[in-house]
Amino acid sequence: MRWEDVRKAFPEQWVLVEAVQAHTNKKNVRILDEISPLDKFPNSPDAMKEYQKIHRDNPYRELYVLHTNRKEPDIIEKKWVGVRG
């Protein structure tokens, strides 16, 4: 699905989506070319709990929690430098 399709399917909802195909443009904006909605939620804390559960089991999946009132996902990719403990 594309973001526009998810917005139409789940109006005014928090959604947990997985990027199936994505890329980063020159301005470090993550472009979600193809996404798969995993679930919808009435509030962000519930969505984040599910995100954390899935991410803990498989940290390499590209997951996002977004609200469908956004016209565009507007995901800024940040490069982290340093040591992780």
Within a domain: 83: no
pLDDT above 80: residue 7: yes
In 10 A of CB 73, how many CB atoms? 18
Burial of 39 (0-12, 13-18, 19+ CB in 10 A): middle
- pLDDT of res. 80: 75
What's the domain range around 64? 3-76
Phi/psi at 24 (nearest 5 deg)? -110, 130
Within a domain: 81: no
- pLDDT of res. 84: 64
Within a domain: 60: yes
What does the alpha-carbon distance between residue 22 and residue 85 come to, in Å, rounded to a whole number?
29
Give the model's confidence band at 18: pLDDT under 50 very low, under 70 low, under 90 confident, else very high.
Answer: very high
- pLDDT of res. 78: 85
